[in-house]
Amino acid sequence: MKRTLALLFLSFAAGVGGFAAEVRPNILWFVVDDMSANLSSYGEKLIQTPHLDRLAREGTRFSRAFTTAPVCSPCRSGFITGMYQTTIGAHHHRSGRGVERVTLPAGVEPAPALFQRAGYYTCIGSGLPDANRAGKKNAKKRGGGDGIGKTDYNFDWDPAIYHGSDWAGRKPGQPFFMQVQLAGGKLRGGTDASAQALAARAKAELGAATDPEKVVLPPYYPRDPVLLRDWAAYLDAVRFTDKHVGEVIARLEKEGILDQTLVIFVTDHGISHARGKQFLYDEGTHVPFVVRGPGIPRGTVRDDLIELIDLTPISLAAAGIPLPAGMQAKNVFARDYRPREHVFAARDRCDETVERLRSVRSDRFLYIRNFHPQRPALQPNAYKDGKTIVQTLRALHAAGKLDPLAETLLFSPTRPTEELYEWTTDRWQVKNLAGDPAHRATLEAMRSRLDRWIIETKDRGPESDKMYDSDMAVYLGDRNTKGRESITAQNVALMKQWAKEGK
């Protein structure tokens, strides 16, 4: 028996290292919405996440993993292909949904298609047949039961790349590639009422809710009761996520396949907040990344820089599937892997709001370039402005009740063209060093490195007016904008006006 397990371990390890595996593991991803690395294994003190801590204890935890896009659809378009979203033209949020379409470049395919050709059963759902992505039991909605989980890709794709919503539909002995899609930070909703409702659910299902008064906020957010209740509810959302993960792991154990399964836990980007989601600071881009399974070092913490898109080549290699030529993501467990010196991120149009940000990060510095510096830090956006926390911040700003730091970082009418932060010591990126003569050499080096990346990766840049109009036609008629149509239309008009003014 020991010899058999040793052979299994070696064969799986060979797969992770980039060589053909004799025995192919199952691959299971946990992909969570709108959640930063607020896990106890990452240093969060106010809550406990025992099931995620177990994954970290029994696998490898990456302390410096960053998404390439701090909003759902560009991020997901990137990691499902192992490519930068800016390279494949999928970098504008919810783009290619109208008359004008986005198609993948030749040779680029979604990972499920690659797994299917290799004989894997591909599925995407909640990981629990009797629950949905929000953890609600007996819910036959998207991501639970018969529902297909969240995809949100910004390019044309064939739904047939997924066989179903759960691995239970596979043939006997067939390996599976499963994406468990969870609501994460979205569980708290966007209003103060929904945050309080989640607190009530936490009391009922988890025994207690997180105390808002004990919450520690980033220094640029005021300790307003609405913001404190929201952050406490967010931490409870993390607890519910941990509970859901534990139930899926228990299912794998019950079926006797946990140790035959490569499990990767990630989130698509950071917390949805004023300076988090949609922005390139740590609050929006730093994500948890934990890998457990055959051939993966146990109890290891790696501090090298990695990108979220790396989960695809890690998984393909574990299955013994050759990486497509030109794939930009890296198998960070490969024997010949050389740690990155830099990682990159980009933010472009989100919903109706036109934006263009690019960043490069070294092991010490974060450089951000604003391509629209004449626009305010918090541009109008129907989605974000519909959240009670943002409405509260805007109201406090209008009343002159915010401190100077919050005013500068959140409500400046313009922005610097360049930002430079020593992110390892400046946790929340509040001190811009771009104008400091002592850091001039670093600024120039980071600026040059970003320029090179933009050229080397063929960054597609701004979208055409034709594509914008095509997608806005969908937005203005989309059920998700119900009640916000007039605000969205006003913002679209403002975007066009600012463009004419050269802003």
- Give the model confidence (pLDDT) of 327-374 as tens digits: 999 999 999 999 999 999 999 999 999 999 999 999 999 999 999 999
Helix ranges restricted to H, 255-355: 282-285, 311-318
Q: Are 79 and 71 in contact (CB under 8 A)?
A: no
Contact 273, 233 (CB under 8 A): no
Strand partners, 28: 178, 263
pLDDT confidence of residue 139: 59
**Spatial separation of the C-alpha atoms in residues 188 and 471, rounded to whole Å:** 28
Yes or no: say if 63 and 42 are a contact pair by the CB < 8 Å rule: yes
Number of Cβ within 10 Å of residue 434's Cβ equals 19
E strand or H helix at 178: strand 176-182
> How many other CB atoms sit within 10 Å of the CB of residue 304?
16
Q: Look up tokens 């599976």; give the residue.
A: 176
Q: What is the pLDDT of residue 147?
A: 73
Residue-level pLDDT at 321: 98
For helices 388-398 and 225-254, angle between their N-to-C axes, nearest 10 degrees: 160
Determine the pLDDT at residue 410.
98
Q: What is the mean pLDDT of residues 442-446?
A: 98
- pLDDT band of 106, cuts 50, 70, 90: very high
Strands 176-182 and 121-125 turn out to be parallel
Nearest to 361 by CA among 301, 307, 325, 410: 307
**Helix 50-57 / helix 225-254 crossing angle, nearest 10 deg:** 60
Element (DSSP H or E) covering residue 428: none
Measure the CA–CA gap between 34 and 46, rounded to whole angstroms. Answer: 19
Residue-level pLDDT at 148 = 87
Q: Is the pLDDT of residue 436 over 90?
A: yes
Least confident of 141-155, 259-273, 340-354, 392-406: 141-155
Q: How many other C-beta atoms are found inside a 10 Å radius of the C-beta of residue 71?
A: 28
How many alpha carbons lie under 13 Å from residue 140 in its C-beta half-sphere?
Answer: 1
Q: For 259-415, where are the E strands, in sequence order?
A: 261-267, 286-292, 300-302, 306-307, 343-347, 357-361, 366-370
Between CA 158 and CA 385 the distance in angstroms is 34
Give the C-alpha separation, 101 to 166, whole Å: 29
Please provide the DSSP assignment of 92-122 as one string.
STT-S-SSS---PPTT---HHHHHHHTT-EE
Is pLDDT at 236 greater than 80 in this prediction?
yes
Region 194-203: mean pLDDT is 98
Rounded CA-CA distance 468/490 in Å is 15
pLDDT > 90 in the chain, percent = 89
- As a residue count, the chain comes to 503
Q: What does the alpha-carbon distance between residue 334 and residue 323 come to, in Å, rounded to a whole number?
A: 12
Contacts of residue 482, Cβ cutoff 8 Å, sequence gap at least 6: none
Greatest Cα pair distance, the chain, in angstroms, is 73
Q: Which amino acid is at 455?
A: I
Q: In this predicted structure, what is the pLDDT of residue 144? A: 44
CA-nearest of 333, 338, 227, 234 to 15 is: 333
The encoded tokens of residue 264 equal: 């990767």
Distance CA 88, CA 105 (A): 6
| Structure confidence at residue 142 (pLDDT) | 47
Backbone phi and psi for residue 177, each to the nearest 5 degrees, phi listed first: -115, 110
Q: Where residue 409 falls among pLDDT bands split at 50, 70, 90?
A: very high
Listing DSSP states for 447-475 in one string gives HHHHHHHHHHTT---SPPHHHHHHHHHHH
For residues 367 and 420, the answer to whether their CB atoms sit within 8 Å is yes
Give the list of residues 6+ apart from residue 38 with CB closer than 8 angstroms, or none: 44, 47, 234, 235, 238, 271
Rounded Cα distance, 162 and 177, in Å: 9
| H or E, element range at 391 | helix 388-398
What is the pLDDT averaged over residues 218-226? 98
Among residues 503, 489, 469, 493, the alpha carbon closest in space to that of 355 is found at 503
Confidence tier at 477 by pLDDT (50, 70, 90):
confident
- Contact criterion met (CB below 8 Å) for 148 and 202: no
Contacts of 10 (CB under 8 A, 6+ apart): none
Exposure class string for 401-419: b at 16+ Cβ within 10 A, else e: ebeeebbebbbeeebeebb
Q: pTM score, two decimals? A: 0.94
Does the structure show a pLDDT above 70 at 480?
Answer: no
What per-residue confidence (pLDDT) applies to 140?
57
What is the full DSSP assignment across 344-361?
Answer: EEEE--BTTB---EEEEE
The encoded tokens of residue 45 equal 């003190």
Cβ pair 4, 240 in contact under 8 A: no
Encoded amino acid at 30, one letter: F
pLDDT, mean of residues 173-197: 98
The band of 79, judged by pLDDT with boundaries at 50, 70 and 90, is very high
